[in-house]
Amino acid sequence: PDGNIEFLGREDFQVKVHGHRIELGEIEAALTQHPLVRTALVTAQGKSRTNKRLVAYVVPAEPETINGHSSSSPLTDAFHHEGESDYGNAVITDPIKRLEFKAKQPGLRQDNFDAYIQLLRPAPDDPLKKMYAGRSSKRSFLHEPIAFEKFSNFLNCVGELRLDSVPKYRYGSAGGLYPVQLYLYVKSNRVQGMEEGTYYYHPQQHRLFVISRKATIDQHLQFPVNRELFGESAFSLFLVVQFDAIKPLYGTSSRDFCLLEAGLMTQLLESSAADNQLGLCQIGKLKDHGTVKSLFKLNETQAVLHSMVGGAPSDLSMSQMVKTDAEAGRSKGSLISELRQFVQKKLPNYMVPANFVVLEKLPLSANGKLDRNALPEIGDQVLGQGDAPRTETEKAIAQVFQEVLQISQIGTDLNFFDLGSDSVEVVIIHRKLNQVLGDFPLLAMFEHPTVSRLARSIKTESNGKHSFAETEDRARKQKEALTRQNKSRARA
């Protein structure tokens, strides 16, 4: 009415970043193709057109709906029991809140009983301490091959033993049916005398039957929080139920008995692992049961109940081996790393977001539409991979990148070109680095495109010319000079 026109921006969300016209919807579409992403939103942020950065806001898919299927065990989906509640989406996912919840020990009754009888408690001698410590989860493993004899003794705990011609096991099973069987995946060169592949353990014959030679179970079948652990392990164990072996006798109660049997087997395997200087960690759910069933050639009447990974535990203290839920927060970093690699395969480099922000949900306006203006600003930080720079050379390299690209933070393992650096900026950065660290070829920045790798490369090149200590000292002095120069410009 007053004659003013307000420019609201492009309706198609096309932006220009480092000279490239980018349709944000294309990046969002690529991100939502990943099974761990429920929805995604991409924006371009930056104080000026010369330092625009693509930022992806991602809402992870709930574990229960990954790939459109339930990720829980087939047995746990059957029905609720007395005393159970359907918590739905109320499951606590925040690592700190999970720790707080566990610290309350909610499983203990809090009644004010009128009387009690104190039982005698034995002194915690060494065997008792060993038993408790041995059953703890191990999350770090050696890469040396496990002795075949040790591995054989470990598996023998779930094998059959005949006493007076009667088959016996060290754990119970409903009706003596033993419908839960053990399957294994062994990695290459991790158990002496065994090739990589999938195997079935025959409890009567104490033999491993080869199912698939050279079969590989990709770490992406695990949820992000478990991938690093799976990558370090030497082998994986899978407890598989054969429903046809129990349902004819127990019907709908089969679920409960199978879960009990799987629990007894898990406890026994953990104890046997400790006795044979091995370690296990329970994983439980997998992201894709279908692929695992295919690798083990299971039929429709079989299902994976539970899984574990194992190996020879590294020489870490117990506090280092047993991680808390707070450390599971690293899964967010694992998800970001995986998404970055995922979109790099689908999009050109200039369309790969420099930043990924994981949100519980995207902000909505009052009328229920996406509100881009309410997205959290990340400012000029680049939350890249790696630690903060440590050596003087790393700090000098990082400072030049931060100054030229107008960012306040860069991780030591973040690829320079993930920042959207164009050829002009690379030349400027190279020239400034030559002033600070001495001459080195421009090609080195393409061959070693991270702070840590470039620093190591420069250290190697300096050998024979001058000592690394001299390089570090020169880097420190040049960095101090740059800092003074920038302060002088600011005052001016």
Cα gap 137→45, rounded to integer Å: 43
For the stretch 331-372, pLDDT in tens is 565 677 788 888 888 898 888 887 888 888 888 887 777 888
Tell me what pLDDT residue 486 has. Answer: 65
- Check whether 73 has a pLDDT greater than 60: no
- Answer with the residue of higher pLDDT: 252 or 465: 252
pLDDT confidence of 291, banded at 50, 70, 90?
Answer: confident
What average pLDDT score do residues 473-485 get? 64
- Which of the residue ranges 137-151, 191-205, 464-478 has the most confident prediction, judged by mean pLDDT? 191-205
The CA distances from residue 434 to 70, 349, 357, 481, in Å, are 55, 26, 34, 14
pLDDT confidence of 492, banded at 50, 70, 90?
Answer: low
- Which of the residue ranges 92-96, 106-110, 389-393 has the most confident prediction, judged by mean pLDDT? 389-393
Tell me what pLDDT residue 322 has. Answer: 33
pLDDT confidence of 69, banded at 50, 70, 90?
Answer: very low
- Check whether 232 has a pLDDT greater than 80: yes
- In this prediction the pTM is 0.51
Is 158 within 8 Å of 202 (Cβ atoms)?
A: no
Q: Which two tokens stand for residue 198?
A: 């999938």
For the stretch 428-458, pLDDT in tens is 888 999 888 888 888 888 888 888 889 888 8
Q: Which two tokens stand for residue 415?
A: 């690829």
- Check whether 139 has a pLDDT greater than 60: yes
3-state secondary structure of 277: coil
Tell me what pLDDT residue 155 has. Answer: 96
pLDDT confidence of 470, banded at 50, 70, 90?
Answer: low
Cα gap 234→273, rounded to integer Å: 13
Tell me what pLDDT residue 423 has. Answer: 67
User: Which residues of 214-348 form beta strands (DSSP E)?
Assistant: 235-242, 279-282, 302-311
- Check whether 9 has a pLDDT greater than 90: no
Cα gap 217→235, rounded to integer Å: 10
Is 268 within 8 Å of 301 (Cβ atoms)?
A: no
Across the beta sheet with 302-311, the strand order is: 207-213, 197-202, 180-186, 235-242, 302-311, 279-282
For the stretch 263-286, pLDDT in tens is 999 999 999 998 999 999 998 777
The CA distances from residue 375 to 33, 44, 379, in Å, are 22, 12, 12
Tell me what pLDDT residue 182 has. Answer: 97
Cα gap 353→23, rounded to integer Å: 12
Tell me what pLDDT residue 482 has. Answer: 64
- Check whether 315 has a pLDDT greater than 70: no
Is 270 within 8 Å of 228 (Cβ atoms)?
A: no
What average pLDDT score do residues 402-417 get? 76
Q: What is the DSSP string of 132-177?
A: HHHTS----B--SPBPHHHHHHHHGGGS-EEETTEEE-SS--GGG-
The long-range contacts involving 284-291, CB below 8 angstroms and separated by at least 24 positions, are 285/63, 285/71, 285/72, 285/73, 285/223, 286/71, 286/221, 286/222, 286/223, 287/35, 287/66, 287/67, 287/71, 287/220, 287/221, 287/222, 287/223, 288/67, 288/221, 289/74, 291/221
Q: Angle at CA 286, nearest 5°, toward 170 and 360? A: 135
| CB-count exposure of residue 422 (10 Å: 0-12, 13-18, 19+) | middle
Q: Which of 456, 155, 168 is nearest to 276 (CA)?
A: 155
Tell me what pLDDT residue 236 has. Answer: 94
Tell me what pLDDT residue 94 has. Answer: 65
Tell me what pLDDT residue 379 has. Answer: 56
Tell me what pLDDT residue 370 has. Answer: 81
For the stretch 52-66, pLDDT in tens is 778 899 988 765 433
Tell me what pLDDT residue 78 has. Answer: 37
3-state secondary structure of 241: strand
Tell me what pLDDT residue 288 has. Answer: 72
pLDDT confidence of 92, banded at 50, 70, 90?
Answer: confident
Lowest mean pLDDT among 76-85, 230-239, 388-397: 76-85
Q: Name the average pLDDT for the chain.
A: 78
Q: Indicate if the alpha-carbon torsion angle 124, 127, 132, 137 is positive or negative.
A: positive
- Check whether 259 has a pLDDT greater than 70: yes
What average pLDDT score do residues 27-46 get? 87
Tell me what pLDDT residue 477 has. Answer: 63
pLDDT confidence of 327, banded at 50, 70, 90?
Answer: very low
Q: Angle at CA 14, nearest 5°, toward 10 and 16? A: 115
DSSP lists the bridge partners of residue 43 as 55
What average pLDDT score do residues 125-147 get? 77
- Answer with the residue of higher pLDDT: 320 or 349: 349
- Check whether 84 has a pLDDT greater than 60: no
pLDDT confidence of 472, banded at 50, 70, 90?
Answer: low
- Check whether 202 has a pLDDT greater than 90: yes
